[in-house]
Amino acid sequence: MKKKLLSLFLCITLPFMFLTGCGNSSDENAIAPENTGAEAAGGSEGSSAVSGTAANATVLNGATAEDRESWWDSFEEPVTITTVGYEASSAVYPAGDGLTNNIWIRAYKDLFNITLTYNWASTDEETKETKLNLDISGGNLPDVFNVKPYQLQQLIEADLIWDLTEIYDTYASERTKINMEADQESFESGMSDGKLYGLANLHWGIIEQPDYIWIRNDWKEALALEDPDTMDDLVNIMLAFMEAYGTYGLSAEKNLDYLNLIAIAWQAYPDMWITGDDGSIVYGSVQDEMKDALAAWADWYQQGIINPNFSTATFEDMSTDAITGKVGVMPFYQWWGYSPGVDVVSNQGVDAIFYPYMIPSATGGQVYQSIFFANQTYTVVSKTCENPEAVLKMINLYGYLVDDAMGIEDDEIITSFTNPEIVHVVPQLRVLNPNCDYDQFIQVSNAVATGDTSGLINSGMWGKYESSMEFINNGTPAVLGDYSQQGSIKPAYGLAADILDNELYIKSRLWGGSPEALLSYGSTLDDILTEGYTKIIMGLKDIDYFDTVVSEWYAAGGEKVTQEMNEMYGE
Amino acid sequence: MIGKKLKRQWQLHVLLIPGIIILLIFSYYPLYGLVIAFQKYNPGLGFNSPWVGLDNFRYIFSQPNFLRTIGNTFYIAIFKMILGIIVPVTFALLLNEIKNDLTKRVFQTLIYIPNFLSWVIVAGVLMDLLATDGIVNRFLNVLGMNAISFLGSPSVFPWTMIISDTWKGFGFGTVVYLAALAGIDPGLYEAAQVDGAKRFKQTIYITIPMLMPTIILMSVLSLGNILNAGFDQIFNLYSPIVYESGDIIDTYVYRLGVEQAQYSVGAAVGMFKSVVSCVMLSMSYILADKVAGYRVF
Tens-digit pLDDT profile for residues B109-124:
999 999 999 999 999 9
- Beta strands at A191-192 and A195-196: parallel, antiparallel or unpaired: antiparallel
Q: Which residue has the higher pLDDT, A37 or B260?
A: B260
B283 interfaces chain A, CB cutoff of 8 Å: no
Q: Which long-range contacts (CB under 8 A, 24 or more apart) does B16-22 make?
A: none
B42 interfaces chain A, CB cutoff of 8 Å: yes
H-run or E-run covering A191 = strand A191-192
Alpha helices in B130-207 (DSSP H): 135-142, 157-182, 186-194, 199-202
User: Is residue A26 left, alpha or beta, with left meaning phi > 0 and alpha meaning psi from -120 to 50?
Assistant: alpha
B255 interfaces chain A, CB cutoff of 8 Å: yes
CB-closest option in B64, B132, B263 to A137: B263
Q: Which of A236, A225, A224, A289 is nearest to A262 (CA)?
A: A289
Determine the Cα–Cα distance for residues A386 and B98; give it in Å rounded to an integer: 72
Q: Do domains A52-205+375-423 and A210-365+514-569 have the same CATH topology?
A: yes
Dihedral sign from CA coordinates of B147, B151, B153, B159: positive
Residue type, A151: Q
Question: Is the pLDDT score of B221 beyond 50?
Answer: yes
B63 interfaces chain A, CB cutoff of 8 Å: yes
CB-closest option in A136, A521, A524 to B43: A136
Distance set, CA A374 to CA A189, A208, A251 (Å): 11, 10, 26
* pLDDT for residue B1: 67
Dihedral sign from CA coordinates of A399, A401, A402, A408: positive
Tens-digit pLDDT profile for residues B75-93:
999 999 999 999 999 999 8
* pLDDT for residue B292: 63
- Residues in contact with A449: Cβ distance below 8 Å, sequence separation at least 6, in sequence order: none
Distance set, CA A20 to CA A15, A37, A119 (Å): 9, 37, 21
CA A270, chain centre distance (Å) = 20
Q: Which CATH class is domain A210-365+514-569?
A: alpha beta
Backbone φ and ψ for A355, nearest 5 degrees, come out as -110, 150
* pLDDT for residue B294: 65
Q: Rounded mean pLDDT of B271-283?
A: 84
Q: State whether ipTM is beyond 0.90.
A: no
Task: Provide the 3-class DSSP secondary structure of residue A526.
Answer: helix
Q: Does domain A52-205+375-423 have CATH number 1.10.357.10?
A: no
* pLDDT for residue A549: 93
* pLDDT for residue A56: 59
Q: Which of A169, A159, A112, A106 is nearest to A384 (CA)?
A: A159
Strands in A23-157 per DSSP E: 79-86, 114-122, 144-147
Residue type, A557: G
Domains of chain B, with CATH numbers? 1-36 (no CATH), 39-292 (1.10.3720.10)
Residues of chain B neighbouring A534 (CB-CB closer than 8 A):
240-241
Per-residue pLDDT of chain A (571 residues; tens, 9 = 90+): 788 888 888 888 877 776 665 554 433 333 333 333 333 333 333 333 333 344 457 778 887 887 788 888 888 888 888 999 887 766 778 888 888 888 888 888 888 889 999 999 887 777 788 788 888 877 888 999 999 888 888 888 888 899 999 999 999 999 899 999 888 888 888 888 889 999 999 888 888 899 999 999 999 999 999 999 999 999 999 999 999 988 888 988 888 889 999 999 999 999 999 998 888 999 999 999 999 999 999 999 999 899 888 888 888 888 888 888 889 899 999 888 888 888 898 898 888 899 999 999 999 889 999 998 888 889 999 998 888 989 999 999 888 888 888 778 888 888 888 877 777 777 888 888 888 888 888 888 888 888 888 888 777 788 888 888 888 888 888 888 888 888 888 888 889 989 988 999 999 998 877 888 887 778 788 888 999 999 999 988 999 999 999 999 998 889 999 999 999 888 7
> In B60-91, which positions are buried (b, 16+ CB within 10 angstroms) versus exposed (e)?
beebebbeebbebbbbbbebbbebbbebbbeb
DSSP A555: I
Q: State the pTM of this model.
A: 0.75
Residues of chain A neighbouring B241 (CB-CB closer than 8 A):
254, 311-312, 531, 534-535, 538
DSSP A482: H
Contact between A227 and A373 under an 8 Å Cβ cutoff? The reply is no
- Beta strands at A369-371 and A505-507: parallel, antiparallel or unpaired: parallel
DSSP A310: G
- For chain B, the first-to-last Cα distance in angstroms comes to 21
Distance from CA of A546 to the nearest CA of B (A): 15
DSSP A28: P
Alpha helices in A483-543 (DSSP H): 492-501, 516-538
- Residues in contact with A6: Cβ distance below 8 Å, sequence separation at least 6, in sequence order: none
Determine the Cα–Cα distance for residues A62 and A139; give it in Å rounded to an integer: 39
| Number of A–B residue contacts, CB under 8 Å | 86
Tens-digit pLDDT profile for residues B138-180:
999 999 888 888 888 889 999 999 999 999 999 999 999 988 8
The residue ranges of every structural domain in chain A are: 52-205+375-423, 210-365+514-569, 437-501
Contact between A531 and B244 under an 8 Å Cβ cutoff? The reply is yes
- Residues in contact with B22: Cβ distance below 8 Å, sequence separation at least 6, in sequence order: none
Determine the Cα–Cα distance for residues A442 and A448; give it in Å rounded to an integer: 10
Q: Which residue of A has its CA nearest to B157?
A: A312
Distance from CA of B97 to the nearest CA of A (A): 33
Which of B55, B129, B239, B255 would best serve as a mutation to test chain A binding (most A beta carbons within 10 A)? B239
Instruction: Please judge whether B261 and A133 are an interchain contact, meaning their C-beta atoms are less than 8 angstroms apart.
Output: yes
Determine the Cα–Cα distance for residues A59 and A52; give it in Å rounded to an integer: 10
* pLDDT for residue A63: 79
B64 interfaces chain A, CB cutoff of 8 Å: yes
B65 interfaces chain A, CB cutoff of 8 Å: yes
Q: Which residue of A has its CA nearest to B46?
A: A137
**For residue B36, what pLDDT band results from cuts at 50, 70 and 90?**
confident
